[in-house]
Protein backbone atom coordinates (compact mmCIF):
# COMPACT_ATOMS: atom_id res chain seq x y z
CA UNK A 1 0.00 0.00 0.00
CA UNK A 2 2.73 2.40 1.00
CA UNK A 3 4.90 1.44 -1.94
CA UNK A 4 1.96 2.00 -4.28
CA UNK A 5 1.28 5.41 -2.81
CA UNK A 6 4.93 6.23 -3.29
CA UNK A 7 4.81 5.55 -7.00
CA UNK A 8 1.37 6.96 -7.79
CA UNK A 9 0.73 10.64 -7.28
CA UNK A 10 -2.87 10.65 -8.47
CA UNK A 11 -5.04 7.58 -8.82
CA UNK A 12 -8.42 7.92 -10.53
CA UNK A 13 -10.81 4.96 -10.71
CA UNK A 14 -14.16 4.69 -12.54
CA UNK A 15 -14.76 8.42 -12.37
CA UNK A 16 -18.19 9.63 -13.53
CA UNK A 17 -18.89 13.33 -13.90
CA UNK A 18 -21.90 14.78 -15.67
CA UNK A 19 -24.05 17.84 -16.05
CA UNK A 20 -27.76 17.07 -16.27
CA UNK A 21 -28.19 14.23 -18.77
CA UNK A 22 -24.82 14.79 -20.36
CA UNK A 23 -22.05 12.50 -19.11
CA UNK A 24 -18.74 14.27 -19.61
CA UNK A 25 -16.59 11.62 -17.95
CA UNK A 26 -17.96 8.12 -17.93
CA UNK A 27 -16.00 5.53 -15.96
CA UNK A 28 -12.57 7.07 -16.42
CA UNK A 29 -9.50 5.52 -14.80
CA UNK A 30 -6.04 7.05 -14.85
CA UNK A 31 -2.83 6.93 -12.84
CA UNK A 32 -0.33 9.74 -12.63
CA UNK A 33 3.06 8.52 -11.50
CA UNK A 34 5.29 10.46 -9.19
CA UNK A 35 7.89 12.63 -10.86
CA UNK A 36 6.46 12.36 -14.35
CA UNK A 37 5.01 14.95 -16.68
CA UNK A 38 1.67 13.70 -17.91
CA UNK A 39 0.01 15.46 -20.80
CA UNK A 40 -3.75 15.08 -21.16
CA UNK A 41 -5.23 15.62 -24.60
CA UNK A 42 -8.78 15.47 -25.79
CA UNK A 43 -11.23 17.21 -28.07
CA UNK A 44 -12.27 20.72 -27.10
CA UNK A 45 -15.22 20.28 -24.77
CA UNK A 46 -14.23 16.64 -24.35
CA UNK A 47 -13.71 16.81 -20.60
CA UNK A 48 -10.02 17.67 -20.09
CA UNK A 49 -10.79 20.71 -17.99
CA UNK A 50 -13.64 18.90 -16.26
CA UNK A 51 -11.27 16.09 -15.30
CA UNK A 52 -8.69 18.51 -13.92
CA UNK A 53 -11.27 20.53 -12.03
CA UNK A 54 -12.74 17.35 -10.56
CA UNK A 55 -9.33 16.14 -9.40
CA UNK A 56 -8.57 19.45 -7.67
CA UNK A 57 -12.01 19.41 -6.12
CA UNK A 58 -13.71 22.29 -7.93
CA UNK A 59 -16.38 20.06 -9.47
CA UNK A 60 -18.44 17.34 -7.78
CA UNK A 61 -18.30 13.80 -9.11
CA UNK A 62 -21.16 11.33 -9.48
CA UNK A 63 -19.17 8.25 -8.59
CA UNK A 64 -15.68 6.77 -8.60
CA UNK A 65 -12.65 7.48 -6.46
CA UNK A 66 -9.81 9.95 -6.67
CA UNK A 67 -6.74 9.52 -4.49
CA UNK A 68 -4.14 12.29 -4.45
CA UNK A 69 -0.75 11.48 -2.90
CA UNK A 70 -2.19 8.28 -1.50
CA UNK A 71 -5.15 9.94 0.21
CA UNK A 72 -8.72 9.27 -0.90
CA UNK A 73 -10.28 12.71 -0.95
CA UNK A 74 -13.78 11.43 -0.07
CA UNK A 75 -12.59 9.62 3.04
CA UNK A 76 -10.26 12.40 4.15
CA UNK A 77 -11.09 14.85 6.91
CA UNK A 78 -11.13 18.56 6.10
CA UNK A 79 -7.77 19.04 7.74
CA UNK A 80 -6.19 16.29 5.64
CA UNK A 81 -7.63 17.48 2.34
CA UNK A 82 -6.43 21.02 3.12
CA UNK A 83 -2.97 19.61 3.71
CA UNK A 84 -3.18 17.89 0.33
CA UNK A 85 -4.30 21.18 -1.21
CA UNK A 86 -1.10 22.74 0.09
CA UNK A 87 0.95 20.12 -1.70
CA UNK A 88 -0.70 20.91 -5.05
CA UNK A 89 -0.11 23.98 -7.19
CA UNK A 90 -2.48 25.02 -9.94
CA UNK A 91 -1.92 27.15 -13.02
CA UNK A 92 -5.25 28.27 -14.43
CA UNK A 93 -5.64 28.85 -18.12
CA UNK A 94 -6.11 32.61 -17.82
CA UNK A 95 -3.62 32.87 -14.96
CA UNK A 96 -6.30 33.81 -12.40
CA UNK A 97 -3.94 36.27 -10.74
CA UNK A 98 -5.51 38.45 -8.06
CA UNK A 99 -5.91 41.71 -9.93
CA UNK A 100 -5.69 43.96 -6.88
CA UNK A 101 -2.33 42.56 -5.72
CA UNK A 102 1.08 43.14 -7.27
CA UNK A 103 2.98 40.29 -8.89
CA UNK A 104 5.10 39.88 -5.76
CA UNK A 105 2.05 39.89 -3.47
CA UNK A 106 0.39 37.31 -5.71
CA UNK A 107 3.34 34.96 -5.27
CA UNK A 108 3.52 35.69 -1.55
CA UNK A 109 -0.20 35.10 -1.04
CA UNK A 110 -0.05 31.31 -0.45
CA UNK A 111 3.02 31.73 1.79
CA UNK A 112 1.27 34.38 3.86
CA UNK A 113 -1.78 32.12 4.23
CA UNK A 114 -0.02 28.89 5.08
CA UNK A 115 3.43 29.61 6.49
CA UNK A 116 4.72 31.68 9.35
CA UNK A 117 7.56 33.52 7.68
CA UNK A 118 9.26 36.85 8.18
CA UNK A 119 8.53 39.57 5.62
CA UNK A 120 12.14 39.54 4.53
CA UNK A 121 12.26 35.80 3.88
CA UNK A 122 8.92 35.89 2.08
CA UNK A 123 10.14 38.68 -0.15
CA UNK A 124 13.42 36.93 -0.91
CA UNK A 125 11.86 33.55 -1.66
CA UNK A 126 9.09 35.12 -3.76
CA UNK A 127 11.69 37.04 -5.76
CA UNK A 128 13.73 33.86 -6.14
CA UNK A 129 10.65 32.06 -7.50
CA UNK A 130 10.00 34.89 -9.92
CA UNK A 131 13.60 34.70 -11.08
CA UNK A 132 13.22 30.93 -11.53
CA UNK A 133 10.35 31.54 -13.96
CA UNK A 134 12.38 34.21 -15.74
CA UNK A 135 11.03 37.46 -14.33
CA UNK A 136 12.95 40.30 -12.69
CA UNK A 137 12.59 42.39 -9.54
CA UNK A 138 11.21 45.21 -11.71
CA UNK A 139 8.29 43.02 -12.81
CA UNK A 140 7.56 42.15 -9.20
CA UNK A 141 6.05 45.55 -8.45
CA UNK A 142 3.69 45.47 -11.43
CA UNK A 143 0.00 44.72 -11.30
CA UNK A 144 -1.49 41.83 -13.32
CA UNK A 145 -3.23 44.27 -15.69
CA UNK A 146 0.18 45.56 -16.79
CA UNK A 147 1.53 42.14 -17.82
CA UNK A 148 1.67 40.51 -21.23
CA UNK A 149 0.11 37.07 -21.78
CA UNK A 150 3.42 35.22 -21.43
CA UNK A 151 4.36 37.11 -18.27
CA UNK A 152 0.94 36.39 -16.76
CA UNK A 153 1.52 32.67 -17.31
CA UNK A 154 4.97 32.91 -15.73
CA UNK A 155 3.65 34.74 -12.68
CA UNK A 156 0.82 32.22 -12.38
CA UNK A 157 3.41 29.43 -12.51
CA UNK A 158 5.50 31.15 -9.84
CA UNK A 159 2.40 31.41 -7.66
CA UNK A 160 1.54 27.76 -8.29
CA UNK A 161 5.07 26.90 -7.14
CA UNK A 162 5.01 29.24 -4.13
CA UNK A 163 4.66 26.50 -1.51
CA UNK A 164 6.99 24.01 -3.21
CA UNK A 165 4.13 21.70 -4.17
CA UNK A 166 4.64 18.07 -5.08
CA UNK A 167 2.04 18.07 -7.85
CA UNK A 168 1.48 20.92 -10.28
CA UNK A 169 -1.63 21.11 -12.43
CA UNK A 170 -1.23 23.13 -15.59
CA UNK A 171 -4.29 24.02 -17.66
CA UNK A 172 -3.19 24.81 -21.22
CA UNK A 173 0.10 26.38 -20.12
CA UNK A 174 1.23 27.34 -23.63
CA UNK A 175 -2.09 28.40 -25.17
CA UNK A 176 -2.03 31.98 -26.36
CA UNK A 177 1.77 32.15 -26.42
CA UNK A 178 3.86 32.59 -29.55
CA UNK A 179 5.88 29.50 -30.54
CA UNK A 180 9.13 30.92 -29.12
CA UNK A 181 7.57 31.80 -25.75
CA UNK A 182 5.76 28.47 -25.75
CA UNK A 183 9.07 26.69 -26.38
CA UNK A 184 10.69 28.66 -23.54
CA UNK A 185 7.79 27.81 -21.28
CA UNK A 186 8.13 24.12 -22.13
CA UNK A 187 11.82 24.23 -21.28
CA UNK A 188 11.01 26.08 -18.06
CA UNK A 189 8.49 23.43 -17.02
CA UNK A 190 11.02 20.71 -17.76
CA UNK A 191 13.79 22.47 -15.78
CA UNK A 192 11.58 23.19 -12.82
CA UNK A 193 10.23 19.67 -12.83
CA UNK A 194 13.77 18.32 -12.66
CA UNK A 195 15.06 20.77 -10.05
CA UNK A 196 12.08 20.60 -7.76
CA UNK A 197 11.18 16.96 -8.41
CA UNK A 198 7.62 17.86 -9.39
CA UNK A 199 4.83 15.71 -10.68
CA UNK A 200 3.19 17.63 -13.50
CA UNK A 201 -0.34 17.07 -14.74
CA UNK A 202 -0.92 19.13 -17.84
CA UNK A 203 -3.88 19.74 -20.12
CA UNK A 204 -2.61 20.80 -23.49
CA UNK A 205 -3.33 20.97 -27.20
CA UNK A 206 0.20 21.85 -28.10
CA UNK A 207 1.72 18.94 -30.04
CA UNK A 208 5.21 20.36 -29.53
CA UNK A 209 4.74 20.46 -25.78
CA UNK A 210 3.45 16.90 -25.87
CA UNK A 211 6.43 15.59 -27.78
CA UNK A 212 9.12 17.74 -26.12
CA UNK A 213 8.12 17.74 -22.48
CA UNK A 214 5.66 15.02 -21.59
CA UNK A 215 6.85 11.66 -20.32
CA UNK A 216 3.45 10.12 -20.94
CA UNK A 217 0.31 11.22 -22.70
CA UNK A 218 -3.28 10.33 -21.89
CA UNK A 219 -5.84 10.77 -24.66
CA UNK A 220 -9.45 11.31 -23.57
CA UNK A 221 -12.24 10.27 -25.89
CA UNK A 222 -15.89 9.49 -25.17
CA UNK A 223 -15.43 10.21 -21.47
CA UNK A 224 -12.72 7.60 -21.06
CA UNK A 225 -8.99 7.33 -21.48
CA UNK A 226 -8.62 6.02 -25.03
CA UNK A 227 -4.87 5.55 -24.82
CA UNK A 228 -2.10 6.28 -22.39
CA UNK A 229 1.66 6.05 -22.82
CA UNK A 230 4.62 7.81 -24.40
CA UNK A 231 4.44 9.44 -27.81
CA UNK A 232 5.34 6.20 -29.58
CA UNK A 233 2.25 4.52 -28.11
CA UNK A 234 0.09 7.41 -29.27
CA UNK A 235 1.46 7.20 -32.80
CA UNK A 236 0.86 3.46 -32.88
CA UNK A 237 -2.63 3.68 -31.42
CA UNK A 238 -5.47 2.66 -33.71
CA UNK A 239 -8.27 4.47 -31.87
CA UNK A 240 -9.85 6.69 -34.55
CA UNK A 241 -9.75 9.93 -32.55
CA UNK A 242 -6.18 9.37 -31.35
CA UNK A 243 -5.19 8.53 -34.92
CA UNK A 244 -6.77 11.71 -36.21
CA UNK A 245 -5.12 13.78 -33.50
CA UNK A 246 -1.57 12.49 -33.71
CA UNK A 247 -1.47 11.63 -37.38
CA UNK A 248 -3.63 14.44 -38.73
CA UNK A 249 -2.57 17.33 -40.93
CA UNK A 250 -1.17 19.46 -38.11
CA UNK A 251 0.82 16.57 -36.65
CA UNK A 252 2.74 15.62 -39.82
CA UNK A 253 5.96 17.27 -38.68
CA UNK A 254 5.65 15.33 -35.49
CA UNK A 255 5.40 11.97 -37.25
CA UNK A 256 8.36 12.82 -39.44
CA UNK A 257 10.49 13.97 -36.50
CA UNK A 258 9.58 10.89 -34.52
CA UNK A 259 10.39 8.66 -37.47
CA UNK A 260 13.85 10.21 -37.67
CA UNK A 261 14.54 9.88 -33.96
CA UNK A 262 12.35 7.21 -32.46
CA UNK A 263 11.42 7.92 -28.85
Binding stretches for another protein (CB under 8 A)? 99-100, 111, 115-118, 121, 124-125, 127-129, 131-132, 136-137, 143-146, 161, 163-164, 194-197
Please list the residues that pair with 63 across neighbouring strands: 16
Q: Smallest distance, Å, CB 138 to another protein?
A: 8
| Residue number with CB closer to another protein (14 or 80) | 80
From residue 233, alpha-carbon distances to 116, 214, 243, 248 in Å are 46, 13, 11, 16
Q: Smallest distance, Å, CB 184 to another protein?
A: 16
Residue 147 contacts by C-beta under 8 Å, 6 or more apart in sequence?
A: 97, 103, 139, 155
| Residue number with CB closer to another protein (59 or 125) | 125
| Residue number with CB closer to another protein (14 or 146) | 146
- Give DSSP secondary structure letters for 127-183: HHHHHHTT--HHHHTS-GGGS-HHHHHHHHHHHHTTT--SEEEEESTTTTS-HHHHH
| Residue number with CB closer to another protein (196 or 244) | 196
| Residue number with CB closer to another protein (80 or 146) | 146
Q: Smallest distance, Å, CB 140 to another protein?
A: 10
Q: Smallest distance, Å, CB 115 to another protein?
A: 5
Q: Smallest distance, Å, CB 121 to another protein?
A: 5
Rounded Cα distance between 159 and 263, Å, is: 33
Amino acid sequence: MHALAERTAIRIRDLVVGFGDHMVLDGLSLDVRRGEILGVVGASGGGKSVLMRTVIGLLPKRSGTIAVLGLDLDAAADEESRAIGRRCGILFQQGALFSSLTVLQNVQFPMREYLQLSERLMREVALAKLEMVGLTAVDAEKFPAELSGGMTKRVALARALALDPEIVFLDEPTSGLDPISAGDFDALIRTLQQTLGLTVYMNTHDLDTLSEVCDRIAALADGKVAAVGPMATMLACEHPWVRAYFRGKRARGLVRATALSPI
